[in-house]
Amino acid sequence: MRARLAVHLVRRSFGTMLGLALVAMIIALALLGPFIVPYPDDVLGAVNLTNKLQPPSAAHWFGTDEVGNDILTRVIIGARLSLLVGIAIPLAAALIGVPLGILAGTAGGGLREAIMRLTDLFLSVPGLVLAIALVAALGPGIGNAMIALILVWWPGYVRIAESKALAIREEPFIEAARAAGASQVRILWRHVLPNSLSPLIVKMSMDIGQAILAIASLGFLGLGAKPPTPEWGAMISIARGYLPDWWWYAICPGALIYASVLGFNLLGDGLRDILDPRSNRG
């Protein structure tokens, strides 16, 4: 039994540890990228046609692309953009969604109805399609893609914040605080927000991975970052034209997307086990 328990704990934490390691790797690449890449000149897209579409070798571990740039270099540089976008989207969505959700949960009445119905409406169109519709209206590009994804993402945060606020509103200690004359704002700030924090942190960790995937998806579709921006999805989109003969071109950027999404998902899973153990795993 002792052994079983140990295996259980190690396996539980093995996933979390792997997630942590992957996330640490992505952050390190994002921070150190420009200092550690093998070919700094290729960062801005130097053209070196004699070197184009080289297979993986000692000099170019993952080969070179159609203008002779080192693929590894460009993928490492891409980490910064992906991570930045991956953090910015859920953060902005939370900044919109959480106050609205807490407002809906504490205010009740018509205001709550209005906020929640609007939320339902945004949730009624599956994410990527809504994002494409918004990008179609705003025009392609990484900035507009980000705006579109933020607009797609905020309703999820309203839902969580609202349900937490509703649940907490019923708690006796809120009743007591109100009876003791605490102001509405103070109650929100001191009680509701801290109690909603655990599920929000878990969701944000998961969402960073999903946002990285979403921005890469839009890049792949030609609706996000445009080449020669070193964005992983856009790189795969170009690499697709060089399949199957130059197969290595698509491998490296995809592997990095996979690693970052996996990392943030596993980390989110681990955080949920620690912070929010009773919630259902979906």
Partner 1 sequence: MIRYLVRRAALAVVMLFGLICMTFVIANVAPSDPAALAAGPDAGRAQIEAARREYGLDRPLHEQFLRYVGDLARGDFGRSVATGRPVGQDLARYFFATLELCLVAMTLGILLGIPLGVLSAVYRDRWVDHGTRILAVSGIALPPFWFGLLLQLGIASSLGWLPTSGRLSVFTEPAAPVTGLLLVDSLLRGNGALFGEAMSYLILPAIVLSLPCLASILRVNRSEMVEALRADHITAARAHGVARWRIVTVHALKNAMLPTLAIIGLRWGWMMSSTVLVETVFDWPGIGLYAVSSAISGDFKPVMGVTLIVGLNFMIANLVVDLLYGALDPRIREA
Partner 2 sequence: MTLLSIDDYRLAFDGFEGTAHVLDGITLDVARGETLGIVGETGCGKSVLARSLLRLNPAPPARVVSGTIRFEGENILAMPDAALRRLRGRRIAMVFQDPAAFLNPLLNIGTQMADVLHGQDSAGDAPRRSAREAHARSATLLASVGLPEPERLLDARPHQLSGGMRQRVLIAMALAGEPTLLVADEPTTALDVTVQAQILALIAALVAQRGLTLMLISHDLGVIAASCARVAAMYAGTVVEDAPTATLLATPRHPYTQGLLAALPDLDNPAHRPRGIPGSIPSLRNPPPGCRFHPRCAIATARCGVEKPALRALAPAHTVACHHA
Using CB under 8 A as the binding rule, the residues of this chain from 252 to 271 that contact partner 1 are 253-254, 257-258, 261-262, 265-266, 269
Is residue 176 at the binding interface for partner 1, with CB under 8 A as the rule?
A: no
Omega before 244 within 30 of 0, i.e. cis: yes
**Nearest-approach distance from CB 185 to partner 1, in angstroms:** 31
**Nearest-approach distance from CB 202 to partner 2, in angstroms:** 22
Tokens of 233: 């999805």
Per the CB < 8 A criterion, the answer to whether 45 and 66 are in contact is no
Nearest CB to partner 1, comparing residues 111 and 136: 136
Is residue 4 at the binding interface for partner 2, with CB under 8 A as the rule?
A: yes
Among 9, 176, 243, 274, binds partner 1 (CB under 8 A): 243
**Nearest-approach distance from CB 3 to partner 2, in angstroms:** 11
Per the CB < 8 A criterion, the answer to whether 86 and 142 are in contact is no
Per the CB < 8 A criterion, the answer to whether 206 and 262 are in contact is no
Stretch that binds partner 2, among 1-9, 64-72, 119-127, 153-161 (CB under 8 A): 1-9
Nearest by Cα to 127 from 154, 92, 94, 106: 154
Nearest CB to partner 2, comparing residues 3 and 49: 3
DSSP one-letter string for 60-107: STT-B-TTS-BHHHHHHHHHHHHHHHHHHHHHHHHHHHHHHHHHHHHH
What is the three-state SS of 95-152? HHHHHHHHHHHHHCHHHHHHHHHHHHHHHCCCHHHHHHHHHHHHCCCHHHHHHHHHHH
Residue 209 interaction partner, one of partner 2, partner 1, none, beta carbon < 5-8 Å per kind: partner 1
Is residue 1 at the binding interface for partner 2, with CB under 8 A as the rule?
A: yes
Hey, CA dihedral for 52, 57, 59, 62, is it positive or negative? positive
Is residue 3 at the binding interface for partner 2, with CB under 8 A as the rule?
A: no
Among 23, 104, 134, 271, binds partner 1 (CB under 8 A): 134
**Nearest-approach distance from CB 2 to partner 1, in angstroms:** 15
Applying CB under 8 A, the residues found at the interface with partner 2 are: 1, 4-5
Applying CB under 8 A, the residues found at the interface with partner 1 are: 4, 7-8, 11, 15, 117, 120-122, 124-130, 132-140, 209, 213, 216-217, 220-223, 233, 236, 239-240, 243-244, 247, 250, 253-254, 257-258, 261-262, 265-266, 269, 280-282
